[in-house]
Amino acid sequence: MSEFLVKELLAVIPQVGKLEWIGIRPAQRAPVQAVASVRAEAGQGLIGDRYAESPGTKRQVTLIQVEHLPVIAALSGHAAISPEWLRRNLVISGINLLALKDRRFRIGAVLLEGTGLCQPCSRMEEVLGPGGYNAMRGHGGITARVLNGGNLCVGDRVVHVPEAARITAGDAL
């Protein structure tokens, strides 16, 4: 398969996702607080979350797919997994988050850019039990930075912003 064809295939993301859950952590090791909405600030992250205190980081927001929660539960020996356990900010359904890595996307009115994979940390051994780290591998979601801020609300749509749409819309980010 040619490199050009692969690039074309990777650029096609017609699915529309949904923001299912929002969580913020005010400090390292603090419990995750589930909220119905949160303010996202460009260059900072989610107001009230510890990563908003480190402007410029590529890890301003962490996202995980709701579809991966049952997989993580099965691999770690749990009947179910609560989003708070996994310490991510946003739980998304209906769109492959890996496809949004290194791409721009909107959640409601907020413009984000996927910056990398959100790898599990050693804390998963504490939370999920022995093997929790490995249960999360490949299912940890992605990190993103906030390009244009606004309010995020549970139920917001998650849509890919294609390169062509950014150019024609005059998006100078």
CATH of the domain at 97: 2.40.33.20
Tokens encoding 94: 């209906």
- Whether the CB-CB separation of 7 and 145 falls below 8 Å is answered with no
Cα–Cα–Cα angle for 132, 28, 58, nearest 5°? Answer: 85
Q: Is there a domain that residue 47 lies in?
A: yes
Q: Is there a domain that residue 7 lies in?
A: no
- Whether the predicted model's global pTM rises above the 0.95 cut: no
Number of structural domains in the chain: 1
- More reliable by pLDDT, 105 or 6: 105
- According to DSSP, the residues that pair with 105 across neighbouring strands are 112, 160
Q: Is there a domain that residue 2 lies in?
A: no
User: Residues 30-79: pLDDT tens digits?
Assistant: 999 999 999 999 999 999 999 887 777 889 999 999 999 999 999 999 99
Q: List the beta strands (DSSP E) in 25-169.
A: 33-35, 37-41, 45-46, 61-65, 90-93, 104-107, 110-117, 142-148, 150-153, 157-160
Q: Is there a domain that residue 9 lies in?
A: no
Domain that holds residue 108: 14-168
- Which band of pLDDT confidence, cut at 50, 70 and 90, is reported for residue 164? low
Q: Is there a domain that residue 121 lies in?
A: yes
Q: Is there a domain that residue 43 lies in?
A: yes
Tokens encoding 128: 């999920």
User: Residues 73-124: pLDDT tens digits?
Assistant: 999 999 999 999 999 999 999 999 999 999 999 999 999 999 999 998 888 9
pLDDT value at residue 168? 43
